[in-house]
Amino acid sequence: MKLTSIDLYSNNQQVASLSFRDPGSRNPYIAQNTTGLDAGEIVPKFYGNSNSGKKQYNLSLVKREVVLLISLNPQFSLGKSYSDLRDDLYRAVASSRDGLVQLQFKNGSSTIACVSGFVTKFETGMFSKTPQVQMTINCEDGMLRSLNEISVDEVILGTSNTIVDNASTAPHGFKFNITFNAPTTSFVIRDATVPDWLFTITPGVIGANTGFINNDQLYFSSAYDGRLVYIVRGGVTIYLVDKIQPGSIWPILFPGPNDLELVSTGAFTWNELTYYQTYWGV
């Protein structure tokens, strides 16, 4: 990941920019050291067997602890003393109801990824020759993710799809929404390169109907912020998590090309497919 700065945000407002392109040391905040931005401890978690009995693992990070050692570079001509700069950082600790701060990793003006957490330590060297602040940020979700979702053009989507994510360095979930155009008894997502990998939804009897019906909208997510499957039928939301067939493996996208096949007993139309680019670390 190519970076030119790490920016600290609180309550959606930029508090400090720690630039790596500041030869004149004109920034009010200068990064002296950062830790906790690498992959840290990667943990394999068993979550099921494929149809052939092969064990499946999801690799994830334990929570991330980022430590920023920041030198204060006062701009006295602008009325910014050491204490003013320090107080601005203090205000970022809890400037909203959720108490979260966000680190945005930027290349120029483009935000490549971000991570959010709580400030758990704020240490200052009050009487040192070069005053510094050390902030510790505890991030429950250790992955770095793009700020905005990536949308795959539905025009190129069909029943067999190659979705290419060359930016991410870590596997991640995705979301999609389709509309059924005909009665459908079951819906399957599978990996074309791994035939025994399946995710099957069989709604069975819902009200007076069996299976999906015309104009049902299916919403699916295997994203980091919550797995879910539901349909919207006539304006009513019906959750289908209990309709997932035993042995099904939640689909995810890996860095590079992904060959996904959607097998449906009835016709459907794509509405959207989105995901967040995801990184193990900087």
Output the 3-class SS for 106-170. Answer: EECCEEEEEEEEEEEEEEECCCCCCCEEEEEEEECCCCEECCCCEECCHHHCCCEEEEEECCCCC
For the chain, the 3-state helix, strand and coil shares in percent, each to the nearest 5, are 5, 50, 40
Q: What's CA 16's distance to the chain center, in Å?
A: 23
CB 265 within 8 A of CB 186: yes
Q: What is the pLDDT along the chain (282 residues), one digit of tens a residue?
A: 889 999 999 999 999 999 887 765 788 999 999 999 998 888 887 766 666 667 777 788 888 999 999 999 988 777 788 899 999 999 999 888 889 999 999 999 999 999 999 999 999 977 777 789 999 999 998 899 999 999 998 767 888 888 999 999 999 999 999 999 999 999 999 988 887 788 999 999 998 899 999 999 999 999 987 899 999 999 999 999 999 998 888 999 999 999 999 989 889 999 999 999 999 999
Q: CATH assignment of 150-279, given 3.40.50.1360, 2.60.120.860, 1.20.1270.360, 3.90.550.10?
A: 2.60.120.860
Quickly name the fold that domain 5-142 has.
Elongation Factor Tu (Ef-tu); domain 3 (2.40.30)
Q: What is the pLDDT of residue 247?
A: 84
Helix (H) or strand (E) holding 88: helix 82-92
For position 155, what pLDDT does the model report? 67
Nearest to 217 by CA among 245, 246, 187, 244: 187
Between CA 231 and CA 213 the distance in angstroms is 10
pTM (predicted TM-score):
0.88
For 89, half-sphere exposure in the C-beta direction (CA atoms, 13 angstrom radius) is 31
Residue found by looking up tokens 């819906």 in the block:
187
User: How many residues are there in the chain?
Assistant: 282
Residue 123 burial class via C-beta count within 10 angstroms: exposed 0-12, middle 13-18, buried 19 and up: exposed
Q: Could you give the 3-state DSSP secondary structure of residue 8?
A: strand
Contacts of 72 (CB under 8 A, 6+ apart): 28, 29, 82, 85, 86, 131, 132, 133
Strands 101-107 and 144-145: unpaired
Q: Which sequence spans correspond to the domains of the chain?
A: 5-142, 150-279
